[in-house]
């Protein structure tokens, strides 16, 4: 899993932080989303999906099977 957030569309509602504080934070400057762990461990996947569903601006995207990085 990979978490991607569109900072330009984020309005700082904070639902992601309430849903998964281990995965998300908010910028002190403008309140927009900060992804703390963009490749979370399996035990955090359900919380990441929930945060994406609850985002009122739909700025969090979950990529279930990301392509592996190439060296």
Domain CATH number, residue 26:
3.30.70.20
Q: Are 23 and 61 in contact (CB under 8 A)?
A: no
Name 45's bridge partners: none
Instruction: Examine the pLDDT at 70 and tell me if it is beyond 70.
Output: no
Q: Are 34 and 4 in contact (CB under 8 A)?
A: no
Residue 20 located in a structural domain: yes
Residue 16 located in a structural domain: yes
- Specify the pLDDT at position 20: 96
Q: Residue 57 corresponds to which tokens in the numbers above?
A: 């601006």
Question: Per the structure, how many domains does the chain have?
Answer: 1
Q: Enter the pTM of the model.
A: 0.88
40 φψ region: left (φ > 0), alpha (ψ -120 to 50), beta (else): beta
Distances in Å between the alpha carbon of 65 and those of 1, 45, 62, 69? 6, 12, 9, 12
Residue 8 located in a structural domain: yes
Residue 69 located in a structural domain: no
Residue 29 located in a structural domain: yes
Residue 68 located in a structural domain: no
Mean pLDDT of 36-43: 96
- Specify the pLDDT at position 30: 94
Residue 44 sits in which domain range?
2-63
Residue 70 located in a structural domain: no
């Amino acid at each position: 899993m990979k978490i991607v957030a569109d900072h330009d569309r984020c309005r700082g509602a904070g639902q992601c932080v309430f849903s998964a504080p281990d995965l998300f934070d908010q910028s002190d400057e403008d309140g927009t989303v900060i992804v703390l762990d963009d490749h979370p461990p399996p035990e955090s996947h359900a919380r990441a999906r929930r945060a994406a569903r609850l985002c009122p601006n739909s700025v969090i995207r979950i990529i279930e099977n990301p392509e592996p990085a190439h060296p």
